[in-house]
Structure 1
Amino acid sequence: MTLDPEKFESDNESHDALLQLGQRLLSEHYRFVTVTPLTHQRVNDRTANCEARSLRDVFGWSRPFAAGLLTEQEHKALLDTGVLRADGNMWMSNVRWSSLDHSLFVHSSFPTLANDSVFFGPDTYRFAQAIEDFLRTSVHPIQTAVDIGCGSGVGAILIARARRSSRVLALDINPTALKYTDVNASLAGVDNVYVCHSDILAGTSENFDLIVANPPYMQDTEQRAYRHGGEHLGSELSVRILKQSIEHLSPGGSLVLYTGASFVDGVDLFLEQSLSLINRSDLAWIYREIDPDVFGEELETETYHEAERIAAVVLTVTRKE
């Protein structure tokens, strides 16, 4: 492996406690589709939803629960490893579990306020669909792949499961993301995902057959790592990823970048910055707007007072053979 960032070392007790919880939820056919934060809050604000009545309420809707929903042994293991916390005379989970097809992924509980929160939501489902669409139509062999800013590990795990002979790197600067990716890969039963700490592709001279990324793309005034995409209304990080990824594509290799694009006076700020990078004779690219209007509530903030909309987009860049 030519990539040599700091290798992530899992906390075995925490890993095992989360893995066992995930296995139990799978065995009980637990399913939860994670919605937008606004929808989540609206549903939880209903009077009948002030307290959890099921594991789905605890680990999906992030509602307080009374002792007894978990076995005493489970409760102690999750409390000792920081998965649970006290909330007055009730308890709360610090994690959520979300469904994607027939798999479960652990990520941060609602609301995602901490700087090291690991987000999973509607963007994740769209990102997964973009990867699956690419894998379904691509004929180029994938021996090496990387998921940049892996979060809960969805991208890496989807690739690893679809291409069992490939070596898939899951990279993130957030140790919590690496921890959850490690658990999720174990739960998914894939042994070809390698979790490492890295800032984008820092420290590697390696080229890849497939690079995927779903970076944060909002300009967050609090600069929370899970949400902040930098300047230019959040497009700065996506452009950095694009620039580095292009130089690390093997011949025939592709980048699938799912991100957000803010429009000002009809101009797509992300695409405008990207064109100078991708309009090259050795590259082919496709740009798709897959949802024209996401995070509309941001348009009410001072930061986005000039924006007319934010779109979810997928940029696929391929190095010609």
Structure 2
Amino acid sequence: MTTIAAPAEAETALLRLGERLKATGYRFTTVTPASHERVNARPGNARARSLTDVLGWSRPFAPGALPDDVVTLLEQAGQLRHDDDGWHSLIRVSSYDDELFVHSAFPACAADAVFFGPDTHRTIDAVLAHLGTVRPPARVAEIGTGSGAVAIAVAKRVPTAEVIAVDINPAALYYARINAATAGTPNVTPYESDLLDAVDGAFDLIVSNPPFMIDPECRPYRDGGGEHGHDLPLRVLGTAMERLAPGGSLVLLSGTGIVGGRDPLRDAVAERLGGAGWRWRYREIDPDVYSENLEHAYGHADRIALAVLTATRPEVAA
């Protein structure tokens, strides 16, 4: 298994920035890209005047808008860009679960963009609810960890667990390592892996919020693949069916386009799990999200819903 390294000075600067922000009581709730764009377009929001304007809303700033030590830490971390509009932070810092998480600035359009937002909150909530119903897992994997937020939430509740946070994106693994250190969760280890191909052994819990959208541009941070955007979520399910220990569980959050009342993701899940002896529950947790996509890639769908799948392997093989 291969770990991801980064320049020590930059990493130290980001860790110090996290400590600095925690000391100030910094908080920022990251919204959807559509909401973010609308709020930034309001009169008076073109320029930053505060820490949250810069590190949350990704607004350009002029000298004097931020404390000098914060600017210095961003410079040392290599996370500042300058153009005709002024200075820009290349990162956002979001708060949830009493922690701070570094991730990509808005708009997050680069191929290696690292996301954090409402779906992160939903996934953490679903995973923690499931944790309350099972014995503490000894070995956990988060597939497509991104910022590492879900892995960190599990590690905080089960400090004795080995929590492996995998991603194919080196930028995600870098931020996940920073965020785990800031949260004080040494039992989280980021690894570069496509699904669990580079990781050995079985797991008691696998969690994932993978890309699930139909994306004509095939952007890796967004595109789930296939006709419905479900290829990657179903690959995660297939991996879990192979790698969960007896009695182990998968918690998966995904989006799905509903067409004429039919949910093609649920149909595919039922086909795979229906005769396998697994206990599973598939529930729609939000009936209408990302409606701006209904005019384009989802022109065939009535709505885009979010669903959570929990699936538990039999204790004894059938």
Report whether the alignment pairs 1:19 with 2:15.
yes
Gaps of 5+ in 1: none
Say whether the 8 Å CA contact 1:232–1:269 is kept in structure 2.
no
Q: What is the aligned counterpart of 1:113 among 94, 109, 112?
A: 109
**Given the two structures, how large is their TM-score scaled by the length of structure 1?**
0.95
Report whether the alignment pairs 1:242 with 2:237.
yes
Report whether the alignment pairs 1:316 with 2:304.
no
**Given the two structures, how large is their TM-score scaled by the length of structure 2?**
0.95
Report whether the alignment pairs 1:61 with 2:72.
no
Closer, same or farther in 2 for the Cα pair 1:47/1:247, shift >3 Å? same
Taking the aligned partners of 2:76 and 2:199, their CA distance within structure 1 comes to: 37
Equivalent in the alignment of 1:90: 86
The code of the aligned residue for 1:54 comes to: S
The code of the aligned residue for 1:81 comes to: A
The code of the aligned residue for 2:114 comes to: V
Offset, 1:68: 2.1
Closer, same or farther in 2 for the Cα pair 1:72/1:29, shift >3 Å? closer
Secondary structure of 1:227's aligned partner: coil
Taking the aligned partners of 2:51 and 2:73, their CA distance within structure 1 comes to: 16
* Count of residues paired in the alignment: 315
Secondary structure of 2:132's aligned partner: helix
Taking the aligned partners of 1:232 and 1:310, their CA distance within structure 2 comes to: 14
Say whether the 8 Å CA contact 1:284–1:317 is kept in structure 2.
yes
Q: What is the aligned counterpart of 1:193 among 179, 185, 188?
A: 188
Offset, 1:288: 1.0
Offset, 1:160: 0.7
Equivalent in the alignment of 2:123: 127
Report whether the alignment pairs 1:176 with 2:178.
no
Equivalent in the alignment of 2:288: 293
Secondary structure of 2:108's aligned partner: coil
The code of the aligned residue for 1:211 comes to: I
Q: Spell out structure 1 runs of 4+ moving beyond 3 A.
A: 69-74
**CA displacement, residues 75-109 of structure 1 (integer Å, 9 cap, x when unaligned):** 24422432111122620000001110211111101
Taking the aligned partners of 1:274 and 1:13, their CA distance within structure 2 comes to: 46
Q: How does 1:8-87 map to 2 (within 5 A)?
A: 8-87=4-83
Equivalent in the alignment of 2:202: 207
Closer, same or farther in 2 for the Cα pair 1:203/1:314, shift >3 Å? same
Taking the aligned partners of 1:44 and 1:193, their CA distance within structure 2 comes to: 35
Taking the aligned partners of 1:204 and 1:31, their CA distance within structure 2 comes to: 35
The alignment yields a C-alpha RMSD, in angstroms, of: 1.4
Secondary structure of 1:267's aligned partner: coil
Taking the aligned partners of 1:311 and 1:271, their CA distance within structure 2 comes to: 11
The code of the aligned residue for 1:274 comes to: V
Of the structure 1 ranges 107-116 and 200-209, higher mean CA displacement relative to structure 2 is found in 200-209
Offset, 1:270: 1.0
Offset, 1:186: 0.4
Secondary structure of 2:227's aligned partner: helix
**CA displacement, residues 98-130 of structure 1 (integer Å, 9 cap, x when unaligned):** 110211111101011111101111111111110
Taking the aligned partners of 1:19 and 1:80, their CA distance within structure 2 comes to: 11
Taking the aligned partners of 2:126 and 2:7, their CA distance within structure 1 comes to: 32
Equivalent in the alignment of 1:159: 154
Equivalent in the alignment of 1:143: 138
Closer, same or farther in 2 for the Cα pair 1:170/1:319, shift >3 Å? same
Say whether the 8 Å CA contact 1:116–1:224 is kept in structure 2.
no
Taking the aligned partners of 2:10 and 2:273, their CA distance within structure 1 comes to: 43
Offset, 1:205: 4.3
Secondary structure of 2:6's aligned partner: coil
Secondary structure of 1:164's aligned partner: coil
Of the structure 1 ranges 97-106 and 11-20, higher mean CA displacement relative to structure 2 is found in 11-20
Taking the aligned partners of 1:169 and 1:196, their CA distance within structure 2 comes to: 7
Say whether the 8 Å CA contact 1:259–1:314 is kept in structure 2.
yes
Say whether the 8 Å CA contact 2:9–2:76 is kept in structure 1.
no
